[in-house]
Structure 1
Amino acid sequence: MTWFESFILGLVQGLTEFLPISSSAHLRLTAAFANWHDPGAAFTAITQIGTETAVLIYFRKDIARIISAWSKSLFDKEMRSDHDAKMGWLVIVGSIPIGVLGVTLKDQIEGPFRDLRLIATTLIVMGIVLGVADRLAARDEQGAKHRAVQERKTLSDLGVRDGLIYGVCQAMALIPGVSRSGATISGGLLMGYTRESAARYSFLLAIPAVLASGAYELKDAGEGHVSWGPTIFATLVAFAVGYAVIAWFMRFITTKSFMPFVIYRILLGIVIFALVATGGLDPRAAASAG
């Protein structure tokens, strides 16, 4: 991997990680369209450490409060009813599905799941799901203003059942094209949560999974499967761009619809299918060099 490639891939990672359009799919597609080697699942996982560091900094006050309350709840029974302490436990519970499936499906994640036809399918299908969830949320928000329906839930309403459902949604993002934020936000909206609450929990829930995945994949870098220099550079680029995207996205979702992302996902999926069907793109194009 050249330094130019690492810069572009880091830029793509930072721009797409927090938007509901799938960063892993865009890294895969960028390599395919540019006729570069597929950066691979290991590169993706490591560069996500950069974007997740941006989450740690952006939500540092929330995270510090949650860790503090959760730690106290280990020894103080009265603290276990505290909202932040509960949030700590719910993040742990919600991380179980992706942890189990990530280890179980490791070979598929690094191989068959990176087929461009599967990526196109997940882009379209999850785009439709996000669109339906977004329309339901918009309808409920409008109805709540006229007292026609109950107001949507916030994180104070989050329990173990919903936490696990969020976790299962996040685990779906192991397939490139699904999108971690897209799946968890869609799940949250379909369960009746507000846009801001669904997005906030999505970001918090991703922290253990992404950091653990990146740490796990670091061994590949040590074994020569990932170039250290370009990978670290891409991670730094992803961090800087990712932080700016988080700040923009959290403002965007409070007043705007997800429909632009829905339309983009569907159109991109159709373009990929068309290129594959006409021979303009090999579904296994730019296969990873390992």
Structure 2
Amino acid sequence: MEFFELLKYIILGIIQGATEPLPVSSSGHLRIVSYFFGLDVPDLHFEIFVNAASLVAVFIIYRKDLLELIAGTLNYIRKPKEYDREPFRFTMLLVIGTIPAVVAGLFLYDFIGGEIAEIRNVGFALLITATALWLIRNLSGHKKEFQITIFDTIIIGLAQTLALAPGISRSGATIVAAMARKIEPAVALKFSFFLSIPVSIGSLVFDLQRIYEAITAPGMLWYYLISFMVALIVSYYAIKLLINMVTRGKLLYFAIYCFTIAGILIISSFM
């Protein structure tokens, strides 16, 4: 195992793990590292694989809520009872919210890694993320889980499709859309993370063949596993940080960060 190659995958794991849950765009940051530091970033299948580490972190942090949601949904399907109705309804909303991203992902898979991923475009996309976060920085909705409507869900689901473009944060887009629909910040965050679950699993399954080929290439298994474990640990603490920032109404800091990075990218792309 070569030291510099190992260091590269550790760095990639840190970047992916830190920026996937935070509203700053993980795919955009991987492009940034590649552009400024000449780091050879693997293809899209690597992002999808390491993104699964963030998914595991979500499962760990929200395990109680997820288990209750799954149990309530299955119970309602087997034998409908009133107290299981809300978990079932919440699950159906997640399914509805996932559909736009799944459809867009199937049609735009090859486009995601093309011209849209050029550094100038990443800069403009980060500018959009920053502006959206800035606009909702002072919003504090009132809607609880049981008050989320189908229309709310469709809006949030459509926002999630924007994150196919590197520089548009998935968590940022969904949190912004949810809070713009007057959903309580903590609930908006929870809905955003739960909405990432089917999309992440679907992407993993869809790209499984490419991921398998990459991992089983000579000498690559340990690099991928190390990157995954680093991303898992970093994601766990990044999610904890985001929960703290959202509940305290501090999304402004992420907006400032994205404005700064966007400005650097756009200016440097013209030099």
Aligned equivalent of 2:68: 65
Aligned equivalent of 1:220: 210
1:193 CA displacement: 1.1
Whether 1:210 and 2:200 are equivalent positions in the alignment is yes
1:77 CA displacement: 3.3
Aligned equivalent of 1:7: 10
What is the rounded CA distance, in whole Å, between the counterparts of 2:246 and 2:183 in structure 1?
13
Aligned equivalent of 2:162: 172
Task: Return the match for 2:95 from 92, 96, 118.
Answer: 92
1:9 CA displacement: 0.5
Q: Is the 8 A contact 2:73 2:84 kept in 1?
A: no
Instruction: Please give the per-residue CA displacement for 1:54-79, whole angstroms capped at 9, x wherever unaligned.
Output: 00111011111111111122232335
1:224 CA displacement: 3.7
- The AA in structure 2 aligned to 1:206 is S
Q: Is the 8 A contact 2:18 2:238 kept in 1?
A: yes
Aligned equivalent of 1:51: 54
Q: Is the 8 A contact 1:69 1:79 kept in 2?
A: no
- The AA in structure 1 aligned to 2:156 is Y
Q: Identity of aligned pairs, percent? A: 27
Of stretches 168-177 and 219-228 in structure 1, the one that deviates more from structure 2 is 219-228
Aligned equivalent of 2:231: 238
- The AA in structure 1 aligned to 2:149 is G
- The AA in structure 1 aligned to 2:227 is A
The CA RMSD over aligned residues, in Å, is 1.8
Whether 1:273 and 2:266 are equivalent positions in the alignment is yes
Distance change >3 Å, CA 117–CA 85, structure 1 → 2 = same
What is the rounded CA distance, in whole Å, between the counterparts of 1:220 and 1:111 in structure 2?
18
Structure 2 residues not aligned, in runs of 5+? none
Structure 1 residues not aligned, in runs of 5+? 142-150, 279-290
- The AA in structure 1 aligned to 2:189 is A
Q: Is the 8 A contact 1:79 1:85 kept in 2?
A: no
What is the rounded CA distance, in whole Å, between the counterparts of 1:265 and 1:252 in structure 2?
15
What is the rounded CA distance, in whole Å, between the counterparts of 1:10 and 1:217 in structure 2?
19
Q: Is the 8 A contact 1:51 1:243 kept in 2?
A: yes
Whether 1:120 and 2:126 are equivalent positions in the alignment is no
What is the rounded CA distance, in whole Å, between the counterparts of 1:264 and 1:180 in structure 2?
16
Q: Is the 8 A contact 2:49 2:211 kept in 1?
A: no
What is the rounded CA distance, in whole Å, between the counterparts of 2:62 and 2:145 in structure 1?
15
1:170 CA displacement: 1.1
What is the rounded CA distance, in whole Å, between the counterparts of 1:154 and 1:134 in structure 2?
19
What is the rounded CA distance, in whole Å, between the counterparts of 1:72 and 1:164 in structure 2?
26
What is the rounded CA distance, in whole Å, between the counterparts of 2:83 and 2:48 in structure 1?
33
Q: Is the 8 A contact 1:31 1:38 kept in 2?
A: yes
Instruction: Please give the per-residue CA displacement for 1:243-266, whole angstroms capped at 9, x wherever unaligned.
Output: 111122212221132111111111
Task: Return the match for 1:131 from 106, 126, 134.
Answer: 134
Whether 1:161 and 2:151 are equivalent positions in the alignment is yes
Aligned with 2:247: secondary structure?
A: coil
Q: Which runs of 4+ in 1 moved over 6 A?
A: none
Q: Is the 8 A contact 2:245 2:251 kept in 1?
A: no
Aligned equivalent of 2:186: 196
What is the rounded CA distance, in whole Å, between the counterparts of 1:130 and 1:258 in structure 2?
7
- The AA in structure 2 aligned to 1:133 is I
Aligned equivalent of 1:187: 177
What is the rounded CA distance, in whole Å, between the counterparts of 1:101 and 1:18 in structure 2?
21
Aligned with 2:171: secondary structure?
A: helix
Aligned equivalent of 2:251: 258
